[in-house]
Amino acid sequence: MYYICKFSESWAIYDGNKKNSRPLDKSEIDCIKNLFPSLLNDNSKILVALQISTIQPNKLLNLPKTENNGVSKKQVEAVTKT
């Protein structure tokens, strides 16, 4: 799991698994500012953090899980029942 942290005027990304961090470069900061403009609205906060975790595309789109060959489990069950 990753965390994007804004400390006053500096930005960093923290890897929770490896327990290390690095500063973000200007292009990465600009990208975050475009994706999350509300982070810039309140400058009174000392620390702002975004938690970033991976998600399977099928879960995001509520699609059925697929077998290794790309066929969904529902399709396999339908074929095996006939």
CA 63 to chain CA centroid, nearest Å:
19
Global pTM value: 0.57
* Helix (H) and strand (E) counts in the chain: 3, 4
Task: Return the pLDDT at 80.
Answer: 47
Hey, how many other C-beta atoms are within 10 angstroms of the C-beta on 49?
Answer: 13
Spans of all domains in the chain: 2-81
Is 68's pLDDT higher than 60? no
CA separation for the pair 52, 54 (Å, rounded): 7
* pLDDT tens-digit series, residues 15-63: 988 999 999 999 998 998 888 887 766 666 677 888 888 777 777 677 6
Answer yes or no: are the C-beta atoms of 39 and 32 closer than 8 Å.
yes
